[in-house]
Amino acid sequence: MSKIIIFGLSGLLVAAGLTVLAAQLGGSPSDTMRGAGLFLFSFGVMLAALGLYQQARRLKVEYEGAKPRQKKKSDRLCSVCNRERAEVFCRVHVLRLCLSCLGSHDDGKNCLYVPANRASAAYK
């Protein structure tokens, strides 16, 4: 509802501004009237932009709210034992590791670890 009001109002303001500006072309031009016309015009355009912005924001919120949440994925489990939740990710061996498997996996020189929740974004 408010969207229609905003766009209606902005349209009216733009039209009023244009009318005032057009009137300046014919009769004797006055700076005050031209300023008022420009003000009405730009205010109307700004209001329309604001309305569009709000609409876009609302759409974005609706879209993001409608998206199904798939946070709980089984691929977060440790790749070695497949039972416990992976806490770290070895970038060298491309393995998700829980804390108890981390000790046996680590070879002391090559392994490069990143947090598992960060790795899941990079390695699908």
**The residue to which tokens 């109307």 are assigned:** 44
CB of 123 to Zn ion, least distance (A): 13
User: Does position 111 bind Zn ion by CB under 5 A?
Assistant: yes
Write the CA distances from 113 to 33, 78, 102, 107, 108, integer angstroms: 69, 14, 10, 12, 12
Nearer to Zn ion, 20 or 90 (CB): 90
**Span interacting with Zn ion, options 3-11, 26-34, 39-47, 108-116, rule CB under 5 A:** 108-116
Nearer to Zn ion, 6 or 84 (CB): 84
User: Does position 93 bind Zn ion by CB under 5 A?
Assistant: yes
CB of 91 to Zn ion, least distance (A): 8
User: Does position 119 bind Zn ion by CB under 5 A?
Assistant: no
CB of 96 to Zn ion, least distance (A): 8
Q: How many C-beta atoms lie closer than 10 Å to residue 51's C-beta?
A: 19
- Write out the two tokens for 28: 């004797």
75 contacts: CB under 8 Å, gap ≥ 6: 96, 120
Which of 20, 78, 88, 116 binds Zn ion (CB under 5 A)? It is: 78
